[in-house]
Amino acid sequence: MGESGAVPHVLIFPFPAQGHINSMLKLAELFVSLTNFHVTFLNSEHNHKRLGLRADSLLERVHFEAITDGLPECHPRSADRIMDLFDSLKARTKPIFREMLREKAKRGEPPVTCVIGDAILSFILEIGEEVGVPVIAFRTVSACSLWAYFSIPWLIDARVLPIPEGADMDQTVTCVPGMEGLLRLRDLPSFCRERDISNPGLQLVQNETRHTVKARTLILNTFEALEGQTLNQIRKHCKTVRAIGPLHALLRAQGPKAPPLFPSMSLWLEDRSCLTWLDSQAPGSVLYVSFGSYTVISRRQLTEFCYGIVNSGKPFLWVIRPDLLDGEEAVLPEELALQAEAQGRFVKWAPQEEVLHHPAVVGFLTHSGWNSTLESLEAGVPMLCWSFFADQQVNSRFVEGVWGVGLDMKDVCDRVVVEHKVRELVENEGPRRAARAMAERVRESVNPGGSSFMEFEELIDDIRSMRACTL
């Protein structure tokens, strides 16, 4: 990836949530590892503090900055209060970001060549146009879920939405181009279950997604061999679409070198002792369980999952965040807790990429967040999917129904079903074989000459060709 001309300055601005920060920090690391770009990474002040990034320890060519999200420090910033965050970002953060871009030039900093903005925040596109800075949109979800979001107006026109009360959730949806007959009502993004199409959450994802077409380039953390058919649908509406993922695999493909620039990108403190525990387990024996950084479950659901996993007899490593339960402490019934602790291990957070690559891990019980899905695909680990929110319903459907790399347990949380599905995942060779084959396709896409490798090179060339903004 050659170097020429003036050094570009890229400002990266993610939506302030763990999953969005993860993938966009991977992009920053790729730029720093493979180019001479100046990179500015813009976090919310709240997350900047949680990540522990300080001015005196910044890397030579990466500058971390913080901007308010407008919410009080005590706000939970949880999935059930996500509209508070969106509203505050638009009202409070937007004008500050506009002035930030203008002030950078006045302070004599390297002029911003382009902004890579989270595409769920369309105001970044608006501000870029106002101040004359090109904006590349980065949507951190899968192509299939993005296309489902894009299709919401067609679903409304076809009177599929709002879903009538008492509707058969297994009814097939036929008006999403390229996915005819694949999606059921239960597979549509969670926002589509709202009974009122004027619901703010449904309107937000619909409107923000449709704004994506205004970006000069849309980048997605996916690859052609996985989602080529859906990418072709998206390309009919967007100027340029670049599939450059999985980003963590593209980084891994660069070969052994110095430790990662960002050893831990987690907002939670990782418990690395779980890797030592995994070392003591038999190869291909442990079920890894994690519902990500946003999912919130009930005490009943926690208990049903635990009974099902314990009754399966399989060793497990289970991530239980302090805020996993809705307003409660995650405490199991005493007898169940004793059984579980004898059979597995609980941690508050884990180094997930390393866990999934550990030879002891045989399967992944997941919420089907896109980062987790990609990490599992890259590691060749089959998935048992229990989706919770937003794009996860679509992802879980594709895991089983299209890619064949796992099982979809959507909308069911019953100990008998959990036990059966865990056994099926661990003992059935089909998903494991498909997962191993998919891992090979991942490697092909990110190695030199692969589709994602080539798309990333073209993205670099695009940025180099942009005239640095003089504001």
State the catalytic residues: 20, 118
Long-range contacts of residues 49-58, Cβ cutoff 8 Å, at least 24 apart? 50/267, 51/21, 51/265, 51/267
Distance of CA 357 to the CA centre of its chain: 19
Find tokens 């050659």 and name the residue.
2
Tokens encoding 139: 């949507």
Give the contacts of 301 (CB within 8 A, at least 6 positions apart): 413
Residues in the chain: 471
- Two structure tokens written together for 236: 């009919």
Residue 287 is which amino acid? L
Angle between helices 429-446 and 224-235 (to 10 degrees): 70
- The closest alpha carbon to 373, from 418, 411, 408, 422, belongs to 408
Q: For 180, what's the count of Cα atoms within 13 Å in the CB-facing half-sphere?
A: 5
β-sheet bridge partners, residue 363 = 287
99's CB contacts (< 8 A; 6+ apart) are none
Enclosing H/E stretch for 241: strand 241-243
Instruction: Return d(Cα 102, Cα 84) in angstroms, integer.
Output: 27
Cis amide linkage into residue 189, ω under 30° from 0: no
d(CA 64, CA 54): 8
> What is the distance between the alpha carbons of residues 394 and 190, in angstroms, rounded to a whole number?
9
